[in-house]
Amino acid sequence: MASSQLASRADAGRLRVLLVSDIHTNVDRVTQLNDWLHEHNELVDVILLAGDIANMHDGDYDVPERETAFEGDMSTVIGALENICTSVYYIPGNHDPRTTFERNPLPKLTSFSTNIHRRVVRISRDLVFAGYGGSVPSFQNGQVLWSGYPHATDDVVREPLQRLLTLGNDDSGIQHSDSVILMTHFGPDGIDTTLDRSDPLAPVHTGSKSLTAVLRNSPLNIPLHIHGHTHNSPGRVTIGKTIVFNPGSLTESRFALLTLERSLNLHRWVLSSSTFLDLP
Ligand SMILES: [Zn+2]
């Protein structure tokens, strides 16, 4: 459930959204971001955080005491974001502990944040947020370059994504009249924001074909889909009626500010402004 302040802002029909991703435990960047927002008189109503909050690597995964330590890192990062705004919605990425995907109930990392992995949360009478974390395998020259975590293949995410984005099911209660803001860590396959061109001769495909298919075939009204994971490919592209948005990595000083507004003509929420920004 949204905080009463966020709910009343949403009821009024306009939300200022701070979009950040791939912080990788870099709390200093969050502090710099807070300073930047103060200097620029930017007040945000909600923060969306698209995963890779901690910085787990090989050898850390599935070691219980390390997972606990990385949960602590996530709490520190999210706590720093709560100094900016007390409504924080996040999903875990492939550098975050498995407990934040699987433990039931999911660990409560801070007072004001909500993990929306495989969940839908209602923000207003006609607005919900839906989330799905982790990564799928990435390919370079047709070979797996980075394995997926915790999703071993692209195929395994299709059914849960379909279930997440279903009208009126018991889990979500998404209604026809709802606008769905979808946030995933990995993005859709086949678009610029998931293509890592660090090596221009051998780009890395980080996206999910399952996600592309689910988005294209969804009966839902999804005006905005946010993803992270692909640090070097911030940008926005359109799939059907959905704007897909990658803010880039806050570790590399990138973030975005968005305005969502209820359009009374269109009977849906629309992205009325978006700005990609860099910390100085
Ligand atoms: Zn990632």
> Computed from CA positions of residues 17, 19, 224, 236, in that sequence, does the dihedral angle turn out positive or negative?
positive
- Ligand 1 center–CA 126 separation, angstroms: 30
- Ligand 1 centre to CA of 68 (Å) is 19
The Å distance, Cα 185 to ligand 1 centre, comes to: 7
Measured in Å, residue 228 CA sits from the centre of ligand 1 at 7
Distance, CA of 71 to CA of 108 (rounded, Å): 10
Length of the chain: 280
For the record, the structure tokens of 148 come out as 């997926």
> Is the Cβ–Cβ distance between 153 and 136 less than 8 Å?
yes
User: What does the pLDDT read at residue 3?
Assistant: 82
Cα–Cα distance for residue pair 275/105, rounded to 1 Å? 35
Beta strand residue intervals within 8-45, DSSP E: 14-20
Please state which CATH number belongs to domain 4-278: 3.60.21.10
CA 39 – ligand 1 centroid, Å: 30
Distance from the alpha carbon of residue 135 to the mean position of ligand 1, in angstroms:
6
Using the mean position of ligand 1's atoms as its centre, give its distance from the Cα of residue 94 in Å: 5
What is the rounded distance in angstroms from the CA atom of residue 262 to the CA atom of residue 275?
Answer: 19
Q: What burial class does residue 104 get, using C-beta atoms within 10 Å of its C-beta: 0-12 exposed, 13-18 middle, 19+ buried?
A: exposed
Cα 127 to averaged position of ligand 1 atoms, centre (Å): 27
Contact status, residue 231 vs residue 214, Cβ threshold 8 Å: no
Q: What is the largest CA-CA distance in the chain?
A: 53
pLDDT value for 1: 61
| Structural domain boundaries in the chain | 4-278
Query: Would you say 75 and 67 are in contact if contact means Cβ atoms under 8 Å apart?
Result: no
Predicted structure pTM score: 0.96
Q: How many CB atoms lie within 10 A of CB 190?
A: 14
160's enclosing H/E stretch is helix 158-164
Residue 123 CA to residue 98 CA, distance in Å, equals 27
Low-confidence ranges of the chain (pLDDT < 70): 1, 169-172
